[in-house]
Amino acid sequence: MPLRGEPTPMTAETPPLALDIDGTLTDGDGRLDPRTFEYLPEWDAPIVLATGKAFPYPVSLCHYLGIDLTVIAENGGVVLADGTVSYQGDPERAADAVAAFEGRGGDLGWPAFDAVNEWRETEIAANVAADLELLESVAGEFDLEVFDTGYAYHLKTPGVEKGVGLRAVADTLGLDPGSFVAVGDSVNDVSMFEVAGRSFAVANADDDAQTAADTVLEGSYFDGTASVLDSL
């Protein structure tokens, strides 16, 4: 059972971080918390930004934070570390599944210009207003799965997840995956929590993330994340 409350201060050297973005580095309105520009550029160890968003989003965030481009995007579908990019998953199968979904009256639920999927390379995301029952039915026919992160329904290849991405990043950087401290808020962070040596769920996290985390924080959104960073 996860602990609840504030993180216990650590005295070891600064650990590498694996940080979710939405709900973890943001505020309750989904805006990036400005304190990330104070905390993250000064962190004296590698930082991995791990997200379900398309590849350009975390890369851009790294750029504007002034930190190394080390990211896990699309729930593990795209990994960038030390200048090397790797891809997992079957985007063609996902596209075929979406065509079948739409052919049966389904709608991904995005505007005409679909910025959510425009640059997505390994999976396809649907709005949470989409017909989940139909989407899951079609996904099963194509041997795909649907991940509900609370922000979108992700149509993805089974086995592609943030935890696998974190192992790949650690291997590329020559680090022990267990040396990472992970912070997140959603079911797609569970595999990352299982790989990292220490894991925290912010107070706004879903039930899956809270159950999987070593500690459930008192603070929500970046307030919770900041409390972890202050303790390390």
Cα–Cα distance for residue pair 16/106, rounded to 1 Å = 42
Q: What secondary structure letter does DSSP report for 174?
A: T
**Residues ≥6 apart with Cβ < 8 Å to 22:** 30, 51, 52, 53, 149, 151, 185, 186
Q: Which of 20, 148, 185, 189 is catalytic?
A: 20
> Tokens 């650990």, residue?
15
Q: What single string gives the DSSP state of each residue in 64-108? A: HHT----EEEGGGTEEEETTEEEE-S-HHHHHHHHHHHHHTT---
- 20 a catalytic residue: yes
Report the candidate in 168, 198, 201 with the shortest Cα–Cα distance to residue 180: 198
Using CA atoms, how far residue 96 sits from 9, 86, 99, 102, 120, in Å, is 49, 22, 5, 10, 15
Cα–Cα distance for residue pair 167/161, rounded to 1 Å = 10
Residues with catalytic roles:
20
